[in-house]
Amino acid sequence: MDIAEILSKVDHTLLKPACTGAEIEALCREALEFHTASVCVPPVYVRAAAELLGGRVPVCTVVGFPNGYDTAASKVFQAKDAIINGADEIDMVIHIGAVKDGRYDAVAEEIAAVREACDGRILKVIVETALLTRDEKIALCRVVTETGADFIKTSTGFAGGGATFEDVQLIKEHIGPNVKIKASGGIATLEDAAEFIRLGCARLGASRLVALAKARKGDAV
């Protein structure tokens, strides 16, 4: 697989707590150079990223990140605020505790509320697969499908585990045709990135792939 094809599916990401404005600017310039699918930045940097990119690369940000236990109203506010500041895509973390309680209706209501707040923009739903049982993963595939979200996303990368090939295969079997898959968390090699794409991922959340591509520009994977 061509490296350019891989990067075209990458949300070039910088979400570490201590990231600086200069690092966000560098991230955006890399996204322009390597034609990534988007940049994914903390909410506080959305406006700066949007102004720098000028619509040439979509700006993604996170809601309820990384733990997901903000109230639904708070997540709706965060999504609206991000959009006002120029966000094109929203990655929201669901309330994992509600899943553990079996309150899937509450999870669905939360996703639907954030989807409405997105006003037609892309919504990716982070389900944090590392914290879920197999049955919970399958149930959330149904919930995300029924709420009309655009993507189901595996992980934040902050919960002790990230994307796995097995989880992507399971999700692929149980989501509806309207839902795409984003693998995120711990994608450390271009070879793994290529395999996630082959398994059906339309997006990858990654912070390291552009740096790896710089070292191997023009190669195939």
Active site residues: 91, 153, 182
Q: Bin 193: left if φ > 0, else alpha if -120 < ψ < 50, else beta.
A: alpha
Residue 173, Cβ density class (10 Å: 0-12 exposed, 13-18 middle, ≥19 buried)? exposed
Domains of the chain: 3-215 (3.20.20.70)
Please check the confidence at residue 173 and state whether its pLDDT lies above 70.
yes
Q: Which residues pair with 152 in a beta bridge?
A: 125, 181
pLDDT above 70 coverage of the chain, percent: 98
pLDDT in tens, 21-78: 999 999 999 999 999 999 999 999 999 999 999 999 999 999 999 999 999 999 999 9
Cα separation, 37 vs 68, whole angstroms = 24
A 10 A CB-CB count for 26 gives 12
Q: Which two tokens stand for residue 144?
A: 């995300």
What is the pTM assigned to this prediction?
A: 0.96
